[in-house]
Structure 1
Amino acid sequence: MTRFAGLLASAFLLLLPLSSAHAAAPEAATALFEAKTVAERNRALTTLESAAKGDPASAYAAGAGEFFTALEILAGGLHRHGFESPQSFMLPLMRLPIPDNPNPEPLTYEQFRAILVAFRDRLERSAATLGSVPAGADIGMVVDLTHAGIDLNEDGSITPDESIAAVMAALSRGGISSDGAAPSLTFRFDRADGFWLQGYAEFLMAQADFWLAHDFRTMFDGSFHMLFPRAKLPLQDILVPPAGDMGSSIFSSEWRIADFISMVHLVNWPVVEPERRQAARRHLLEMIRLSREDWKAIRAETDNDREWLPGPQQKGENPLTGLEVGEEQVEAWLATLTMAEDLLEGRKLLPHFRITASTGQGINMKRFFEEPKPFDLVLSITGPAIAPYLESGEIVTSGEFDQIQRQFGGGGFLTFALWFN
């Protein structure tokens, strides 16, 4: 896998449903990850959820299955309304390989919010279930990612081209292949990986809650025909060209470029549910806590058996990323977590290029979330929108971040960060 393909595959880690179970895996857990239909998968998940309170292994597998179905809620909603991904390395989540839908249903702003709410609430359920697993539980389950998958098109089946391995391959190639050429990716997931997955559930909840905290109807009406060109959005008949003229890449046609500019310009969102913006910060802080727990558990491992996320003592390149983890990367990542926590707690301030260091002022990110004001992306970049959050204090310097980045070597900070969580 090339470095670029590895980066794309790593970006998908934030959407990857992984899990473990006890060394003697519950039968339902095996059924969950080998299911060929949604009905079969759901029966296994119901069985695991029923056994979860008395069995850490069942709770672990159930929490992963709930994460699984959260992704399915999102993918199904996108497919139902004819989502068409404008391919762009700048927007990795827009590379999700949602199959074509020749007869999409109309989409309204309220329906799109409902999809986000259902996705977010299912993630919350997953995080709670995974959080019920004792930290010292004996977890270890071998999962072949060419068999585990999600129903991307709501047809009730989980086919080989909907496997996690196939989706990751599609992310690196730019499209789903049905030729059975998806890489063989088998891992033995352990207790540490549960903290990892729970942390990603918190990360995705933070993103969903941030969107839902605001009224983004104007952006939806003015630019979402770029994502759902045949879902009867307000400007479809005016601004959507014939299918052959659309282009697959976000910068492959004037139409794509224009709508991307519109989307950025229309990120000027009034706050409608301030408690959700506050919750987004709490989710990010919980993600940081879970990442620390993850690395504590990884460092305590003495085996080296098909590790999803190996520690420095577990030598060998990871088959997914092609990277090997050293102590310097772990220490740098833990420093990154401390820096992020300091920013979210307001102990340190975020610099802005428009605010000179001599003023001693920076952005208080805790107040950004806790005292929400309308979010304007362009004015946040250019400066006016961040003025209410400026205050004097200790500012994170570029030198601090550069020092951390150097510890990640040629693999790059972003690849490691998406993998590490």
Structure 2
Amino acid sequence: MSSAQAAMPETAAALFEAKTVVARDTALSTLEAAASTDPASAYAAGAGEFFTALELLASGLHRHGFESPRSFMLPLMRLPVPENPNPEPLTYEQFRAILVAFRNRLEKSAATLGSVPANADIGIVIDLTQVGIDLNEDGTIAPDESIAAIMASLSRGVAPDDAAPALTFRFDRADGYWLQGYAEFLMAQADFWLAHDFRSTFDGSFHMLFPRAKLPLQDILVPPAGDMGSSIFSSEWRIADFISLVHLVNWPVVEPERRQAARRHLLEMIRLSREDWKAIRAETDNDREWLPGPQQKGENPLTGLEVGEQQVAAWLATLTMAEDLLEGRVLLPHFRITGKGINMKRFFDEPKPFDLVLSITGPAIAPYLESGTILTSDDFDQIQSEFGGGGFLTFALWFN
């Protein structure tokens, strides 16, 4: 491959090893100023912007006493935010503002990473135990706030306690596509929420997430501290509030362009994943790979998995399947409807109020039903079988 040489700038090391928010932000500003002329600076700046997007979300949640439900059903709500004994009150408008700030920083990160030339020779070595975000708004980046510790928390479902073992990778051009794709994925989630008015859900159930933030039903429904349990299904009151949350997901559309944008973000994520694998397969080295190709042998220290040709081929087939669904070329099946499927392109592009329960039971998806080619369980099972003991979900979270 031809390449535009881009040595790792010293400021990038300062960014990824900073122990205070001030030092981190100073280094990030320097990299952003150099991004237009230096590919490595743009690459590092885009990564820094991604991490600070997570920090904006985490700090906003912490400020109002967020307690993570640690549930895969609420993916944006799984950050291991430390306990805040003196939370500030939270309003619906403030919560939307937190999501907007998070989403807009992700958009900035995606644009910066997208400015890196496809043939740039990138090689930035990062120890994930050294780079982190300020989860508790104290201005410092502690060992238990490192990306390695946060990832360990997300995988174990418990809050980080001790520093994680060393986890060092050399991030190259392919990994930039990977991170940019994850920014698009998270923007899709944020835009879907923001497309709707979810005030009734907030007022009626969000005290399960912010039990001391003066939400409307706090005084009636939140039990004394110590009686709440740590997960959605760990106590009767949390189960009750989760049922309320599901029941109250009947959201009018207030910003239809955001629901349309969510589909575009997902399509861009698919495009970037293809670019990622194109770049990975062209690599001839095997140097601390974040996401190795089949030619880069050895178990990955993060996942303990080795990537083979069958997994890559199956993943590329998965991308085609997802793209066909989002473009309406293939229809999504519904368990109680035969002969017709859901046109997901129209679901996003012709938004109607989103009712979760009625979508599951059928009435809410009736406007999007069409005749045509319907995805079958056999289509997916054939792909899933190629991922072996590691399981499709593990590879999917890693591959993006």
TM range (shorter): over 0.9
Q: Is the 8 A contact 1:86 1:250 kept in 2?
A: yes
Q: How far, CA to CA, are the matches of 2:5 and 2:262 in structure 1?
A: 32
Structure 2: which amino acid aligns with 1:276? R
Corresponding residue to 2:143 among 160, 164, 170: 160
Corresponding residue to 1:304 among 271, 276, 286: 286
Give the deviation of 1:60 after TM superposition: 0.5
> Which residue is equivalent to 2:240?
258
How do residues 2-401 of structure 1 correspond to structure 2 at under 5 angstroms? 24-88=7-71, 91=74, 93-180=76-163, 182-356=164-338, 359=339, 361-401=340-380
- Of 371-380 and 246-255, the range deviating more from structure 2: 246-255
CA shift in 2, pair 1:93/1:122, >3 Å = closer
Q: How far, CA to CA, are the matches of 1:213 and 1:312 in structure 2?
A: 40
Q: Is the 8 A contact 1:213 1:272 kept in 2?
A: yes
> Which residue is equivalent to 1:15?
none
Q: Structure 1 segments of 4 or more deviating over 4 A?
A: 89-93
Q: Is the 8 A contact 1:22 1:140 kept in 2?
A: no
Give the deviation of 1:166 after TM superposition: 1.4
Q: How far, CA to CA, are the matches of 1:218 and 1:90 in structure 2?
A: 19
The percent of aligned pairs where both chains have the same amino acid is 87
Q: Is the 8 A contact 2:80 2:160 kept in 1?
A: no
Cα deviation code 1:177-200 (max 9, x no counterpart): 4443x1211000000000000000
- Of 70-79 and 81-90, the range deviating more from structure 2: 81-90
Structure 2: which amino acid aligns with 1:171? L
Q: How far, CA to CA, are the matches of 1:220 and 1:90 in structure 2?
A: 16
Q: Secondary structure at the match of 1:332?
A: helix
Alignment gaps of 5+ in structure 1:
1-20
Tell me how many residue pairs correspond in the alignment.
397
Give the deviation of 1:168 after TM superposition: 1.9
Give the deviation of 1:172 after TM superposition: 3.6
Cα deviation code 1:59-100 (max 9, x no counterpart): 000111111110110000000000011234554554421011
Q: Secondary structure at the match of 1:249?
A: coil
Q: Normalization by structure 2: what TM-score? A: 0.97
Give the deviation of 1:363 after TM superposition: 0.5
Q: Normalization by structure 1: what TM-score? A: 0.92
CA RMSD of aligned residues (A): 1.3
Q: Secondary structure at the match of 1:309?
A: coil
Q: Is the 8 A contact 1:344 1:366 kept in 2?
A: yes
Q: How far, CA to CA, are the matches of 2:384 and 2:158 in structure 1?
A: 31
Give the deviation of 1:292 after TM superposition: 0.2
Q: Is the 8 A contact 2:263 2:326 kept in 1?
A: yes
Q: Secondary structure at the match of 2:259?
A: helix
Structure 1: which amino acid aligns with 2:31? L
Structure 2: which amino acid aligns with 1:66? E
Q: Secondary structure at the match of 2:111?
A: helix
Q: How far, CA to CA, are the matches of 1:176 and 1:396 in structure 2?
A: 39
Q: Secondary structure at the match of 2:337?
A: coil
CA shift in 2, pair 1:163/1:205, >3 Å = same
> Which residue is equivalent to 1:417?
396
Q: How far, CA to CA, are the matches of 1:410 and 1:90 in structure 2?
A: 23
Q: How far, CA to CA, are the matches of 1:123 and 1:94 in structure 2?
A: 16
Q: How far, CA to CA, are the matches of 1:110 and 1:98 in structure 2?
A: 21
